A and B are shown apart, each in its own frame.
Chain A
């Protein structure tokens, strides 16, 4: 965190944003990651153009558990559905969940962490102690409990995953803001009589955004894995929806004879999550060039 403080005191502004973009562009693996993620987003958006949704759901007569061929590129599953169409349409769930959940978690965390970090005192204590309780429940278990109680509909899953992500993100936001609000330029602004709202919007948020955005990208790749994990356990997106975790769950029984059912959805999952991680890494280096040299 110490480094971000140094960066923050160096001042925000247009030129620094340009500098960050320039450093990001120079990072080859980050650009590859970004390109791959954009391609996956395009696949998700145009999934219906590539292959209609009915192909992912309808059964093909007499084509059960077929190996990949020119007709069915990724083979067919145990219910004789085309795996290529299922993997393509599965990208929609992962991309939507990654973007929506990490964006919502980001907004909630910036508000909670910002209030806690900037005001301190009992507000900080109250927010952090409540989050401590959330932090005690292991991993995805909280999301599992929420899904168990409220059912695994799409909105419930979104809420469950957001709640699972918020506590850790709030901590990062709070630590970042805590570092910034003790900086001299904030005190200077306060001496000028600037209002809290102005200080937060004008000075704190722009300077705190770097580490927070990096955290949001890391979150996005974790969310993709979480959704797949929940669906794999049969408690996420419900079958017959072609979610990647679902595809892997139904592939378990046929693993020995039809390994492509395990390889292909898994690879789709890994490539998506890897591309986001590469972007996150590039962003981290671009925002904080000290780590590199």
Chain B
């Protein structure tokens, strides 16, 4: 098992280099130079050139890329153009909020999506099944930022218990988590429903029923465990959407997390911050995917056998 985890971590290295190359190349084309941003209004050309030279901005593409990569290895993404502080420090101080938001949303999404999905599969064609299918269809068509605005409008503005912005107390997380979870739970519910329906119709479930096993036992012991695999994959992949979605939800609820940091940095053409934060979120996602793969082994002994071989 450890060998497998070690192998997977080694495999992450080329992907991280690839992501660095991709992000660096895209942002390489950003018009303007750091000198123009840092030198203030109406800068002299000499001052601009001076700053660019100091930051190494006038060197060729490949030199700058390797310099950036060297920094990434040492967890140094350079200094932010606007605050002149190290980017990594700014990201780390904001990351706990983004992680809390994404993690809570993931849990709420999983609980909502899986439980309603199983319920509507078990009671197929019942009122609950139809109602949850229709409701999930609605929510999967809604942009999370609009749900966020509606929650603010309908709940937070009439109810001082919910803060309108910021996350100074834990209460500030409730509405953003609901906004993200409703969007993500809808597709998860549909997936759980269809995989459960497929599993319920499989031969071994019929055998279990024929044996006279209790309905409850058949659902939880036989069907659920086998239907869980694609659902766990989806939750893992959802984390990517959660991290990306945090960009917009953090803006709606004015949460100072990594997402709103990126948006602000993009508006200011603050290239090192955009690069650093994008890379940071991508690596976070890779770690989550690794965790999901390890989790597989615990759910499915067949996969574990493959790993330990």
Contacts and interface: CB of A to CB of B under 8 A. Distances in A.
B and A form one assembly: yes
Interface of A: 129-130, 132-141, 144-151, 221, 225, 228-229, 232-235, 248, 251-252, 255-256, 259, 262, 266, 269-270, 273-274, 277-278, 281, 291
B29 A149 contact: yes
B23 interface: yes
B149 A139 contact: no
B307 interface: no
B133 to A, nearest CB: 9
B157 interface: yes
A278 B136 CA distance: 12
Given A139-B247, A145-B274, A266-B146, 12 more contacts: A130-B18, A137-B278, A148-B274, A149-B30, A221-B141, A229-B248, A233-B263, A235-B263, A262-B150, A266-B143, A270-B142, A273-B141
6 contacts: A138-B247, A144-B263, A233-B248, A252-B252, A256-B153, A273-B141
Give the interface SS of chain B, mostly helix, strand, loop or mixed. Answer: helix
A151 B244 CA distance: 20
A151 B150 CA distance: 30
A291 B141 contact: no
B295 to A, nearest CB: 19
Contact of B18 (A133, A140, A228): A133
Interface stretch (B35-43, B51-59, B105-113, B281-289): B281-289
Contacts of B240: 135-136, 138-139
B19 interface: yes
Interface in B226-284: 240-241, 243-245, 247-248, 251-252, 262-263, 266-267, 269, 274, 278, 281-282
A262 B140 CA distance: 19
A252 B152 CA distance: 10
Nearest to A234: B267
Contact of A141 (B14, B30, B247): B247
B99 interface: no
A148 B141 contact: no
B226 to A, nearest CB: 14
A150 B29 contact: yes
A235 B266 contact: yes
A262 B151 CA distance: 11
Nearest to B20: A133
B109 to A, nearest CB: 15
B281 A141 contact: yes
A229 B145 contact: yes
Nearest to A130: B18
Interface in B23-38: 23, 26-31
Contacts of A252: 149, 252
B176 to A, nearest CB: 15
Contacts of B285: 136, 138
A270 B146 contact: yes
Contacts of A134: 22
B19 A136 contact: yes
B31 A274 contact: no
Contacts of B286: 136
B194 interface: yes
B15 interface: yes
A175 to B, nearest CB: 13
B213 interface: no
Nearest to B194: A291
Contact of B145 (A133, A221, A232, A270): A232
